[in-house]
Amino acid sequence: MAYLRLVVAMLRKASFMGAFFLLLSTPLYAASTDCSIEPAITTAFAVKRVIDGDTLRLHDGRSVRLIGLDAPEMGGRGLSAQPYAVQATRRLAALVKANGDAVHLRLGEESHDRYGRVLAYAYDAKGASFAEQLIAQGLAFHAQIAPNTLSADCLVKAEQRAQQATLGLWKSARYTPVQKIKGGGFNLLQGRIQSVQRNKGGVWLELGHTFTVNIPQQSIAYFTDQAFEQWQGRNVRVRGWVVDRKGRSRADARWRLTVSHPSMLELQ
């Protein structure tokens, strides 16, 4: 009997120590590698048409801009389709068709853009992310605009897999020096931070007399523990939508890119 009590005590101690060491080896935070979610928190909608690789038209007439990605433009109005635009559109259409010509949506914290389109995360009936699949296949770039950054970590990882495998867009995509920028729209750019300024508009990174990166005041909280002033002289890679400010104040740089989430900016 005493022997049995001794064995039980030893097992309890081993169980406790195992749990203790498991706790020590488990990180307090691990970036998500899967964008899937519980389907119950989404709502299904019938899709009337796939506009391009990141935009849908619902049967109720609303247009939906998918959160977390930027797919190549299909062109129109005299403009040619960008590389892989057709493939991205067809892939999204295939995902919608495989889901019964429907999409399961979860609204973003910011639910509409300036064009009146619904901003939403898109999934199939099992909760698999459409954005993750398009990005992982090299048919779109990850693109995070706060506060709609629920899937930022896993979409970054999906893009890394596509880039490492040289899929789709990553067969030719490169970060362009800011001095060689040719137009607005979504760009991958790189340059050297010549000066850092901070005011009520947020943080301003000057990458030459023609290009400025702005981190808005309301987005600074996403950049935790960053001494922005120490960025001066560093090389940086940025991505996002560039605005051509030609014809405005001469004191302003011609090109401006707004970064509202750390995943859109990489210090070298």
Please give the pLDDT value at position 225.
Answer: 84
Is there a domain that residue 13 lies in? no
Is the Cα torsion angle 38, 240, 261, 163 positive or negative in sign? positive
Please give the pLDDT value at position 114.
Answer: 94
Please give the pLDDT value at position 7.
Answer: 38
Residues in Cβ contact with 5 at an 8 Å cutoff, skipping those fewer than 6 apart: none
Same domain, 125 and 201: no
108-153 residue pLDDT tens: 999 999 999 999 999 999 999 999 999 999 999 999 999 999 999 9
Q: ω before 147 within 30° of 0 (cis)?
A: yes
Total domain count, the chain: 2
Same domain, 50 and 130: yes
In whole angstroms, give the CA distance from residue 17 to residue 19: 5
The kind and range of the H/E element at 98 are: helix 85-98
In whole angstroms, give the CA distance from residue 9 to residue 70: 59
Lowest-confidence pick of 22-36, 63-77, 178-192: 22-36
- Asked whether residue 250 carries a pLDDT value surpassing 70, the answer given is no
Average pLDDT over residues 11-16: 39
Same domain, 158 and 181: no
Please give the pLDDT value at position 16.
Answer: 34
Last residue within a domain, chosen from 114, 148, 170: 170
Average pLDDT, the chain: 88
115 by Cβ neighbours in 10 Å (0-12 / 13-18 / 19+) ranks as: exposed
Give the pairing of strands 265-267 and 235-244: antiparallel
Last residue within a domain, chosen from 142, 170, 198: 170
Same domain, 56 and 165: yes
191-249 residue pLDDT tens: 999 999 999 999 999 998 799 999 999 999 999 988 999 999 999 999 999 999 875 66
Please give the pLDDT value at position 9.
Answer: 47
- Asked whether residue 26 carries a pLDDT value surpassing 70, the answer given is no
Residues in Cβ contact with 105 at an 8 Å cutoff, skipping those fewer than 6 apart: 42, 43, 44, 45, 64, 118, 120, 121, 122, 123
Same domain, 241 and 224: yes
Alpha carbon of residue 69 to chain centroid: 6
Same domain, 157 and 193: no
Domain that holds residue 54: 39-170
Last residue within a domain, chosen from 170, 188, 207: 170
Specify which residues 152 forms β-bridges with: none
Report the percentage of the chain scoring pLDDT > 70.
86
Same domain, 159 and 238: no
Same domain, 93 and 186: no
Same domain, 188 and 157: no
Residue 13's pLDDT band, with cuts at 50, 70 and 90, is very low
What pTM was estimated for this model as a whole?
0.84
